Amino acid sequence: MNRFYKRLIILIVLVSAISGGVIYFTVDINTLTSFTEFNSLAIIAAFCSIGFGLFLDGLRLVQLVNISNEKISFSQALHVVFGNYFLALLTPGFSGGAIAQVLFLRHAGIPVGKATVIVIVRTVVSIMFLIMCMPFIFMHDAGVIPWISDDVLMVVSSLAFLGIILLVWCFKHNYLDYFAIKIVHHLSPARAKAFLAFYRDNKLALQLVISSPWNMFKVFATSGLSLLFIYGIVPILMTSLTSDFNWILVMGRMIILNILLYFSPTPGGSGIAEGGFILLFSSMLPEGTVGIVAITWRFFAEYIPFIIGFYYTLKIFGRDFLNKPLIK
């Protein structure tokens, strides 16, 4: 059996086991009572929210490609978006998503070098938006992470944002070139080549960012709206069960959870996503419902785009693509 199908079977078993475990340990006698009051319109609203979020995700990719002086159709951009979901869910830390984006961009006629830079910028812009939100979240959601004080969280999130700004400034003025050369001298030829390629790609990504400030601001705003609509699935589902929650707090906690998922060691954040969701939202939902809402959120936000991405991957690259290693 080839590597892809092994990964797919492992993913299905893992997701099934986690989903079953989450439901088993969170469902109680109150669950059925709560779901008799479920508003089915929330499902339609959730579909609309994820649909518009993915539409904006494709739009920002078109904007980014235009900034790089290349062209891509909106349908090709959606292929990139869904391909990202497909391979990201099969690899730890969503690492396969970046590979998928480069492959689909290359298929759309974008040179590999530019495709790599576009993928880096796309990821960095998303992370920057989330980090910018963090200080405001901690100011309005005291004790969101019980074992870390709010003051520490404020300092860490502020330093992270300032660190990104400082890194951009250093890249712009070539202050890091000296250190890059020093590091290369202590590496083997193969690792030195890989490090220089990584350094060059990130430097080119920065040059792309600062080449058109106004257009990059539009990309940043589109990225933020895309993420908010995708995260908006959760409060929409919650409104079908209760009105006793704060939308701003829910969205803030979704931002925190998704930042953690960027560094998840499990395929697509499986297990960590559900566990983190239960930790952050159990107090906001009726008893016995948090597990089912967590699984429903994952279904809308990850599994539906994964299936669509699977279809586009087969359609564009054929079945032979699945016989190749996902990560070389």
Do residues 80 and 64 make contact, with C-beta atoms less than 8 angstroms apart?
no
Instruction: Provide the token pair at 64.
Output: 């980014």
**Of 38-42, 48-52, 231-235, minimum mean pLDDT range:** 38-42
- Phi, psi (deg, nearest 5) at residue 28: -145, -165
**The most confident of 45-54, 123-132, 201-210, by mean pLDDT:** 45-54
Mean pLDDT, the chain, integer: 85
Within its chain, how far is the Cα of 219 from the centroid? Answer: 16
CA distance 65 to 60: 9
Overall average pLDDT of the 286-290 stretch: 86
User: Above 60 in pLDDT, residue 89?
Assistant: yes
Model confidence over 228-277: pLDDT tens digits? 999 999 999 999 888 888 899 999 999 999 988 887 878 778 888 899 99
Question: Cα–Cα distances in Å, from 202 out to 72, 75, 102, 124, 164?
Answer: 22, 27, 15, 10, 13
Find which of 54-63, 83-92, 124-133 is predicted with most confidence, using mean pLDDT.
54-63
CA distances 113 to 110, 119, 130, 303, 328, Å, are: 8, 10, 26, 30, 18
Q: How far is CA 238 from CA 143, 154, 296, in A?
A: 21, 28, 11
Whether residue 328 is predicted with pLDDT greater than 50 in this model: the reply is no
pLDDT at residue 56 is higher than 80: yes
Residue 140: is its pLDDT beyond 70? Answer: yes
Cβ pair 42, 35 in contact under 8 A: no
Please report, rounded to a whole number, the percentage of residues in the chain having pLDDT higher than 70: 91
Amino acid at 64: L
The confidence score (pLDDT) of residue 315 equals 87
* Cβ–Cβ < 8 Å for 108, 217: no
Which residue(s) pair with 92 in the sheet?
Answer: 267
Write down the pTM of the prediction.
Answer: 0.85
Terminal C-alpha separation, the chain: 18
Neighbours of 327 (CB within 10 A): 12
Q: Which two tokens stand for residue 266?
A: 């499990």
Both tokens of 311, joined, read 């279809």
**DSSP-assigned beta bridge partners for residue 267:** 92
Q: Cβ neighbours of residue 263 under 8 Å, at least 6 residues apart?
A: 93
Per the model's pLDDT, the better-predicted residue between 320 and 96 turns out to be 96
Give residue 301's pLDDT band: very low, low, confident or very high (50, 70, 90).
very high
